[in-house]
């Protein structure tokens, strides 16, 4: 079997990483060019020619499975040759469109959803190998972890799985761009621009490290640069996800590489030795990428894995300035950049930068002309560096010095200079000490987390089934112990944990982490440190809509005092302070809240335009404008937020969600029904794309869409969507906080009044009112809940019980809505319910007096059909019938009909159509028009039978009136 390619692979297992890299290079060529490429291999790689030739032939023939790593094959089934992917094949839920590329570990295809759920294209990775027991479970776990990465510099992992043939697949965001080395060459970027690109990558990698994920395979081919100059990282953590199970004990360390995706030349020494990886491993790989971009060469020859590891261990990489062939570039690299790259490329992980953020900090310092921590200068050199950065000040100082002829003046200058140098050195030493302590504590925490799925523990299989939520819980329990001696790093990690918990819909844990951050900040930070104010504001943001709402206001006020003490450093918090005050008052004094929102908006427009905070300010300003009865102004704010999202390009996802989440609701209140349909659908699509199908914001926007569909006559669509959302809520792991569940169900249950089952809603609304009395008294929340309870009671024809709720809501609204025009949605609801109450009490004259004072809502677009007017016309007809004015009642009903006809399909108002038909039939019957009356009454019954819930009280009443029986 010496000629068997599989036998060759077993023999060459230690050199598989190099073979994989060479295969990547060969497969990137046209088939006709591969023979020449093989012939031109360097002498040290000539020994691979025969095996590479066989592998290339196998890659296009029935033996394509041999491209799998040798250690991945024993005991594991390979797909038959017939399953080799082709265009139009379906893999999992995706349909292959065209092949984007081939590599030693697998192929990449442009694909689209085969089930039509989403139209977006994806890059579908198809690893050549199929793994055995436990792989699917581990794949799901790693997929959930990697899917939490949401950063403009990281191509998102949308999903992963295994198809019916046993083929693993990974669906990633499809990014159009060039590999970073190709982009730098094609665009002839100068060194500074190349460093800026590397800095973008550092920020993305540091973000992932803060989420407890390492990349493992950083190389130019995994970093694309878009036409807009944004660096995007591909395959983040995919090396971990596609790694074969750990080999049996006793196998040589290097053979473990056969099941691991890495690239010799960029892999760290510890990765080549198959040791546990840390953030420092990514630092090394990114250091190699930076070195190559700046010099055009790798720091060490990328031969075999053993040779590469030996070269790294034997000595440091040659200084970048001595490697580049460009004299001008050598001058730029010499000194600071040489030192930065040298530190990143240390063979000993402990001697490198502890984290990518520290590497990026030095690159940023170099760009700004500041000292870098990798190179300690002598005092005189620091002074020369300072003088170069402050040429104008130095020139002015030179004139003064020249005018001082006395030797005492020169000695004074020297003494001042020495004192300044000493102060600079002391400050830099203290900063370096704190940075080192912070980096060490962060590294220790990450190392502990990265060991969670190691095999050397009591239950390794259970450890490898750890979910994202469990990972966060473990981190939260560990952070206090690991970081107790580095409070600043401790506070930063708690801030991150709070944000991650909030994204998962785990409000209780998010609040707990925010509280802990405040405690750490109070103990460790000065009373004029802006970071203490930031901690207070984060906790306040978690408490505004909880029973601790008064405490939230106290925290915001305390943060304001700290910001004032901080002087110029605290000025950057003014926008955040105004925004949190607006958020607080959204449940309280709406007028004051709107003023705070406009203040925050003005600040962000001036100081941080197009930022995520700018979008948040626009969202709250829009919400408050809507509450004050001006949805048109709210829509203008949301349109501005949409423009921000578009201006931010690929990183504008959160801004876009902010812009579209509530847009449908505001369009409904403005009467722009056709646009509202599109807005609800867009909000669902954006939320699903950014957050996935089970995130709490996604569930809420989908329920809003479902409610809108039902409310406007699309029952089948709306109820199907609602059933799907209910299923996801029940199956969601971890479960949503009860607050989210109650809110989600409440959104749909409110339709119970219009669909004839107010009795089903009464217990829930009573409980909601009681809860609001305890948690958010004197708020718009309580006003709205009391009004909903009054509406339920009136629908049940219990006006005596409804009256106290109406009166309480009226009193509270006069305080909460003080100073607002009497045309807000709450005012209109109060007016309508008061008319209904008067009618049920038999006071037709009082009802007509209120109706005569009503006006068209100024919130509506001029040509929009007025739902409120339809309701008022129906109530007028009822009042006139009570007074025996059948002809006038018929005219009012006809006017309601005319308003309904202004609606453009597919939008309908089924409840109002039925109400109108009922009062129309009753007026006709009173006028002796028996046949026409019966047809109208039958139409009302049919409309309600289709729209109402089973057991509808409205339907029973309408049927009795149609049949000439007194309603029960």
DSSP assignment of 334-402 equals TTHHHHHHHHHT-SSGGGS-SSHHHHHHHHHHHHHT---TTSPPPHHHHHHHHHHHTHHHHHHHHHHHH
Question: Cα dist. 483→331, 441, 661 in Å?
Answer: 41, 6, 38
Structure tokens belonging to residue 335: 């000194």
Candidates 470, 488, 484, 476; CA nearest to 529 is 488
Backbone angles phi and psi of 378, in degrees to 5: -70, 160
Q: Are 667 and 685 in contact (CB under 8 A)?
A: no
CA angle 314, 315, 318 (to 5 degrees): 145
Contact (Cβ atoms closer than 8 angstroms) between residue 126 and residue 107 = yes
Start-to-end CA span in the chain (Å) = 92
Tokens of 630: 């001006």
Q: Find out whether 205 and 233 touch, Cβ atoms under 8 Å.
A: yes
Query: Coil, helix or strand for 743?
Result: helix
Q: Strands of 650-799 (E only): list them.
A: none
DSSP annotation string for 659-718: HHTTHHHHHHHTT-HHHHHHHHHHHHHHHHHHH-TTSHHHHHHHHHHHHHHHHTT-HHHH
Nearest partner of 461 among 246, 316, 754, judged by Cα: 246
Whether the ω angle into residue 364 lies within 30 degrees of 0, i.e. cis, is no
State the catalytic residue, choosing from 15, 181, 217, 338.
217
Q: Which residues lie below 8 Å from residue 732, measured CB to CB, with a gap of 6+? A: 694
Per-residue b or e along 166-198, where b marks 16 or more CB atoms closer than 10 Å to that residue's CB: bbbbbbbbbbebbbbbebbeeeebebeebbbbb
SS3 of the chain: helix, strand, coil, percent, to 5: 65, 5, 30
Cβ neighbours of residue 10 closer than 8 Å, sequence gap 6 or more: 70
Q: Residue 898 corresponds to which tokens in the numbers above? A: 């005319």
**Beta carbons within 8 Å of 630's beta carbon, 6+ residues apart:** 859
Matching residue, tokens 């079997």: 1
Per-position DSSP letters for 550-606, written without gaps between them: HHHHHHHHHHHHHHHHTGGGGGGGHHHHHHHHHHHHTTS-HHHHHHHHHHHHHHHHH
Return d(Cα 288, Cα 273) in angstroms, integer: 18
844/878 Cα distance (integer angstroms) = 8
Q: Determine the 3-state secondary structure of 300 from DSSP.
A: coil
Q: By the 8 A CB rule, do 435 and 373 touch?
A: yes
The CA distance from 654 to 662, in Å, is 14
- Residues in the chain, how many? 968
- Reduce the DSSP state of residue 677 to 3 states and report it: helix
DSSP state of 454: -
Clarify whether 217 is annotated catalytic: yes
Cα–Cα distance, 382 to 369 (Å, whole number)? 11
Q: Report the candidate in 201, 239, 198 with the shortest Cα–Cα distance to residue 217.
A: 239
Could you count the other beta carbons within 10 Å of the beta carbon of residue 912? 20
The catalytic residue positions are 217
């Amino acid at each position: 079997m010496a000629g068997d390619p599989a036998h060759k692979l077993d023999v060459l297992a230690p050199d598989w990483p190099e073979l994989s890299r060479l295969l990547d290079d060969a497969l990137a060529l046209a088939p006709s060019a591969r023979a020449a490429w093989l012939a031109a291999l360097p002498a040290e790689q000539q020994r691979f020619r025969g095996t590479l030739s066989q592998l290339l032939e196998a890659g296009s023939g029935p033996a394509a499975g041999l491209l799998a790593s040798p250690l991945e094959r024993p005991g594991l089934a390979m797909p038959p040759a017939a399953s080799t992917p082709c265009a139009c094949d379906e893999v999992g839920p995706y349909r292959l469109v065209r092949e984007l590329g081939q590599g030693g570990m697998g192929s990449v295809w442009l694909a689209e959803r085969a089930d039509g759920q989403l139209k977006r294209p994806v890059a579908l990775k198809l690893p050549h190998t199929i793994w055995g027991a436990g792989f699917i479970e581990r794949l799901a776990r790693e997929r959930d972890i990697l899917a939490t990465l949401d950063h403009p510099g990281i191509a998102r992992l949308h999903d992963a799985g295994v198809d019916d043939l046993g083929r693993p697949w990974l669906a990633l965001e499809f990014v159009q761009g060039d590999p970073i080395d190709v982009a730098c060459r094609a665009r002839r970027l100068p060194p500074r621009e190349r460093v800026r690109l590397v800095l973008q990558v550092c920020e993305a990698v540091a973000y992932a490290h803060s989420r407890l994920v390492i990349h493992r395979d950083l190389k130019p081919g995994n970093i694309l640069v878009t036409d807009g100059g944004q660096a995007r990282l591909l395959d983040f953590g995919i090396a971990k996800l596609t790694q074969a199970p750990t080999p049996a004990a006793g196998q040589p360390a290097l053979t473990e590489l056969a099941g691991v995706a890495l690239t010799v030349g960029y892999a760290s020494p510890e990765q080549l030795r198959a040791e546990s990886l840390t953030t420092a491993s990514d630092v090394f790989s990114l250091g190699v990428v930076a070195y190559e971009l700046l010099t055009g060469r790798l720091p060490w020859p990328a031969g075999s894995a053993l040779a590469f590891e030996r070269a790294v261990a034997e000595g440091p990489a040659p200084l970048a300035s001595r490697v580049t062939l460009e004299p001008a570039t050598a001058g730029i690299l010499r000194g600071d950049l040489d030192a930065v790259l040298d530190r990143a490329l240390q063979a000993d992980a402990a001697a490198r930068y502890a984290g990518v953020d520290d590497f990026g900090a030095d690159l940023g310092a170099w760009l700004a002309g500041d000292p870098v921590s990798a190179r300690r200068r002598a005092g005189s050199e620091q002074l020369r560096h300072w003088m170069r950065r402050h040429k104008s000040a130095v020139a002015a100082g030179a004139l003064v010095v020249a005018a001082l002829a006395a030797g005492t003046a020169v000695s004074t200058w020297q003494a001042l200079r020495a004192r300044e140098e000493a102060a600079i050195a002391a400050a830099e030493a203290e900063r370096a000490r704190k940075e080192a302590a912070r980096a060490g504590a962060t590294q220790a925490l990450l190392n502990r987390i990265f060991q969670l799925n190691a095999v050397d523990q009591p239950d390794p299989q259970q450890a490898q089934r750890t979910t994202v939520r469990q990972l966060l819980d473990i981190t939260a329990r560990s952070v206090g112990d690991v970081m107790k001696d580095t409070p600043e790093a401790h506070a930063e990690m708690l801030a991150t944990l709070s944000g991650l918990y909030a994204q998962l819909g785990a409000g209780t844990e998010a609040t707990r982490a925010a509280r802990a951050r405040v405690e750490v900040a109070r103990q460790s930070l000065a009373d004029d440190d802006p970071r203490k104010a930031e901690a207070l504001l984060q906790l306040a943001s978690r408490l505004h809509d909880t029973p601790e709402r008064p405490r939230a206001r106290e925290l915001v006020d305390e943060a304001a005092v700290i910001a004032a003490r901080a002087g110029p450093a605290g000025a950057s918090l003014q926008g955040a302070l105004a925004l949190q005050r607006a958020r607080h008052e959204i449940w309280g004094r709406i007028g004051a809240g709107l003023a705070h929102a406009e203040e925050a908006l003005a600040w962000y427009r001036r100081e941080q335009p197009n930022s995520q905070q700018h979008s948040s300010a626009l969202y709250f300003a829009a919400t408050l404008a809507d509450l004050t009865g001006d949805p048109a102004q709210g829509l203008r704010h949301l349109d501005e937020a949409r423009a921000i999202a578009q201006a931010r390009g690929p990183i504008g996802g959160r801004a876009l969600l902010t812009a579209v989440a509530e847009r449908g609701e505001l369009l409904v209140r403005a009467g722009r029904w056709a646009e509202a349909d599109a807005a609800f659908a867009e909000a669902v699509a954006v939320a699903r794309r950014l957050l996935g199908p089970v995130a709490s914001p996604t569930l809420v926007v989908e329920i809003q869409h479902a409610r809108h569909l039902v409310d406007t006559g699309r029952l089948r669509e709306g109820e199907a969507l609602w059933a799907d959302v209910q299923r996801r809520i029940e199956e969601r792991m971890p479960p949503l906080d009860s607050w989210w569940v109650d809110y989600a169900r409440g959104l749909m249950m409110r339709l119970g009044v219009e669909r004839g089952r107010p009795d089903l809603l009464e217990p829930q609304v009573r409980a909601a009112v009681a809860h609001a009395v305890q948690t958010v008294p004197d708020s718009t929340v309580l006003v709205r809940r009391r009004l909903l309870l009054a509406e339920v009671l009136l629908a049940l024809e219990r006006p005596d019980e409804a009256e106290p709720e109406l009166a309480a809501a009226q009193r509270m609204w006069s305080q909460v809505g003080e100073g607002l025009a009497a045309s807000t949605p709450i005012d209109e609801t109060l007016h309508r319910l008061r008319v209904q109450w008067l009618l049920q009490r038999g006071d037709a004259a009082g009802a007509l007096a209120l109706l005569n004072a009503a006006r068209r809502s100024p919130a509506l677009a001029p040509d929009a059909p007025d739902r409120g007017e339809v309701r008022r016309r129906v109530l007028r007809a009822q009042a006139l019938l009570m007074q025996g004015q059948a002809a006038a009642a018929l005219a009012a009903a006809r006017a309601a009909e005319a308003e309904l006809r202004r609606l453009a399909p597919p939008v309908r108002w089924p409840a109002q159509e039925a109400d109108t038909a009922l009062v129309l039939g009753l007026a006709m019957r009173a006028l002796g028009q028996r046949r026409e009356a019966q047809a109208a009454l039958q139409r009302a019954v049919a409309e309600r039978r289709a729209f109402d819930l089973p057991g509808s009280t409205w339907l029973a009443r309408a049927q009795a009136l149609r049949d000439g029986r007194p309603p029960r």
